[in-house]
Amino acid sequence: MEKNKKRLNETLIKGEDSAKKLQALLCRRAYNDGSVSVEDLVMEILGSFSRGLSMLRSCDSGEFAGAPASPDMTLATSGDQTPEVKNRKKPAPALKERRGCYKRRRTIDSRVITSVTIEDGYAWRKYGQKMILNSQSPRCYYRCTHKPDHGCKAQKQVQKLEDESNMYHITYFGHHTCPTLNNFSHSGVVLDFNGGASKNPHSLSNSPSAITNFQVQPSIKQEVESKTQSTDVSVSDNVSSANDGYSHNSSPALEWNEIWQHNQLGSSGHEGPPFMWFDNEDSCASTSSHGYLDMDFLNNDGFSSDFLFDEVLS
């Protein structure tokens, strides 16, 4: 029991710590070295308090034996239902306990892009594939390869678009917290819906088209979208100077120019430009403050989180 108290204490302290960091972030959005984002901190804080509360509830109900992996677990096991009853069928190995405490994804904290390639420079491990209703292509589920060693929470879902464009609808969840940056030459997963994923690590490095097709689409504020071409250069300059990890076999400056042009030309529709960015209604990207080119989804890539456009805009 003493151990649990200590754990609860640590959990709450962590929450407090995250709250302090968030406060600093919100004050100036200054202390952002790329290793942490507002969304991460919020999630961390909420998680800490949820876990803490769960522990307390468990304590009240006399089951303070172990902190649940998810705050909802206490709800799921509430009442007279024992874990054995809850666990239908499978006799569940003693130590492995219940299988996941799956939760439906929130659309919050998700970033959606459409791209001709699923490659984004990170190393992803596929952990599931599912046929989705009213969709011909399966949805593939990926998490960061570094989850086990660094606890990186980044995940993404990839689904091929229905049309003939061979494009992918990619939804990112969470942010990379892993310290290592993966280069194209090291992460060569190319989706092949006919025969699964290609695991040839050289597939990309040997395929210029795949590399040059790689694009990332920043969530650009609407105010920014109407800016002049002079902004173009600034964006490119910013990106190319800040970009270390994406400089392999590709030209970030050129691509950001292209991205910018795509935004200039056709951000209104979901067709036409090959690289599009959809802000989720409740995503951080659409709610960032004025004058920012919000690139939160690229956090920790070596990009800075936000590019200030104040000078350009003025």
Q: What is the DSSP letter of 87?
A: S
Q: How far is the first Cα of the chain from the last one, in angstroms, to the nearest whole number?
A: 60
Q: Which is nearer to DNA, 50 or 249 (CB)?
A: 50
Q: Which is nearer to DNA, 13 or 101 (CB)?
A: 101
Q: For binding to DNA (CB under 7 A), which residues are involved? A: 72-73, 76, 86-90, 92-93, 96, 98-105, 124-130, 132-133, 139-141, 145, 155, 157, 189, 195-197, 199-201
Q: Which is nearer to DNA, 3 or 104 (CB)?
A: 104
Q: Which is nearer to DNA, 207 or 236 (CB)?
A: 207
Q: In the bound complex, what is the minimum distance in angstroms from residue 193's beta carbon to DNA?
A: 9
CA proximity to 303, closest of 295, 293, 311: 295
Q: In the bound complex, what is the minimum distance in angstroms from residue 276's beta carbon to DNA?
A: 20
Q: Which is nearer to DNA, 55 or 312 (CB)?
A: 55
Q: In the bound complex, what is the minimum distance in angstroms from residue 122's beta carbon to DNA?
A: 12
Q: In the bound complex, what is the minimum distance in angstroms from residue 202's beta carbon to DNA?
A: 9
Q: In the bound complex, what is the minimum distance in angstroms from residue 199's beta carbon to DNA?
A: 5
- For 36-82, the DSSP string reads --HHHHHHHHHHHHHHHHHHHHHHHTT-TTS--SSTTHHHHT-TT--
Helix (H) or strand (E) holding 34: none
For 300, left (φ over 0), alpha (ψ -120 to 50), or beta? Answer: left
CA proximity to 76, closest of 99, 94, 93, 96: 99
Helices and strands per DSSP (H, E), number in the chain: 10, 9
